[in-house]
Amino acid sequence: MNRTPEDYLDLPYTIRITHDRSDDGCEGFVAEVEERVHVLVDPEIVKMEGEEADTEGCLSIPGLTGAVPRASRVVVKGKNRRGRGITVEAEGLLARVFQHEIDHLDGVLFLDRVVDRSTIREVATTAEVEPAAPAE
């Protein structure tokens, strides 16, 4: 499924994401996707299945979107907010958000993952509107 950047302005969900590194070296992110909040500390992808290209954007790179191939299903191991070990399975949008955010923790941005550079588009952004699915 390939959406155009404009399609994201009408999506029926909000995604709010933050990632951070704590003083003791833990890294993680909080992602609210389709009204569910996911907290993952020191996340690691342990299984990937399928592949799907879809448009992504990022608050770290405002004004640009591009088609990024990602695994359509992932299994992620990490810790929850209390430090307990957890395993989370995700598919579709949530799988994409997890991969995008784990890339951030590894210093990789979505533009590094764009295979077909001709899919990169300039889009209008404001502080209130995130142009594509996974946000920072």
What residues make contact with Zn ion under the rule CB under 5 A? Answer: 58, 136
75: enclosing H helix or E strand: strand 73-79
Question: Judged by CB, which is closer to Zn ion: 54, or 136?
Answer: 136
Question: Judged by CB, which is closer to Zn ion: 82, or 94?
Answer: 94
Tell the residue number behind the tokens 């609210």, with chain if given. Answer: 32
Nearest Cα neighbor of 121 from 71, 60, 56, 52 is 56
CB of residue 15 vs Zn ion: minimum separation in angstroms?
A: 10
Question: Judged by CB, which is closer to Zn ion: 60, or 87?
Answer: 60
CB of residue 104 vs Zn ion: minimum separation in angstroms?
A: 5
Put residue 53 in one of left, alpha, beta given phi > 0 → left and psi -120 to 50 → alpha: beta
Instruction: Point out the catalytic residue in the list 32, 49, 101, 128.
Output: 101
Strands 27-33 and 36-49: antiparallel
Q: Is residue 101 flagged as an active site residue?
A: yes
Residues serving a catalytic function are: 101
